[in-house]
């Protein structure tokens, strides 16, 4: 069972009305307009932008000092993991807070949605824990 059929099943069990076709049409038109406007702006920026390439402009600037060595530094993977965990749990907090604000109007369907969301996040946490992705100590 995929996620969409779970949403439809929970919505049907809770007595909520299914979205009308016009809702999907308006969402599709909005998405299409966003992509058309973005494409037009990117095309205009490329077409109207000045291009004067030369070696001085293409060289990296480091306070007037000629660069020496590679600019790439190796960072431990744990720094990236902390950033990803922060993003995931920050978004989780936003979703749970928004659910808590509207919990009385969402009813049991909303409770089922947020329970499914938290269970999936917990399953992801258990997976990362089992793969030893949370260990920082020396090996």
Domains, the chain: 3-130 (1.20.58)
Question: What percentage of the chain carries pLDDT values higher than 70?
Answer: 77
Q: Residues 35-64: what's their mean pLDDT?
A: 83
pLDDT tens for each residue of 81-114? 778 888 888 888 888 898 899 888 989 999 999 9
pLDDT at 118 over 80: yes
Cβ neighbours of residue 92 closer than 8 Å, sequence gap 6 or more: 117, 118, 121
Q: Tell me if 111 sits within 8 A of 13, measured CB to CB.
A: no
Q: Residues 44-67: what's their mean pLDDT?
A: 77
Mean pLDDT over the full length of the chain: 80
Rounded to whole angstroms, the Cα distance separating 25 from 34 reads: 14
Which pairs count as long-range contacts for 85-93, CB under 8 Å and 24+ apart, including other chains?
A: 88/121, 88/124, 92/117, 92/118, 92/121
Task: For residue 35, name the pLDDT band (cuts at 50, 70, 90).
Answer: very high
Structure tokens given for 120: 């999936």
Number of other residues whose CB lies within 10 A of the CB of residue 16: 14
What one-character DSSP code corresponds to residue 62? S
Q: Higher model confidence: residue 35 or residue 51?
A: 35
pLDDT at site 93: 87
Q: Tell me if 99 sits within 8 A of 106, measured CB to CB.
A: yes
């Amino acid at each position: 069972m995929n996620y969409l059929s779970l949403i439809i099943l929970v919505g049907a069990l809770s007595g909520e009305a299914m979205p009308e076709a016009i809702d999907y049409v308006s969402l599709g038109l909005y998405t299409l307009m966003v992509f058309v406007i973005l494409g037009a702006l990117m095309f205009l920026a490329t077409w109207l932008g000045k291009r004067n390439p030369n070696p001085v402009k293409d060289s990296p600037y480091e306070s007037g000092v000629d660069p020496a060595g590679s600019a790439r530094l190796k960072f431990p993977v744990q720094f990236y993991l902390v950033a990803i965990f922060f993003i995931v749990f920050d978004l989780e907090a936003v979703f749970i807070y928004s659910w808590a604000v509207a919990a009385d109007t969402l009813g049991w369907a909303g409770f089922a949605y947020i329970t499914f969301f938290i269970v999936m996040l917990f399953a992801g946490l258990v997976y990362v824990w089992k793969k030893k992705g949370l260990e920082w100590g020396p090996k």
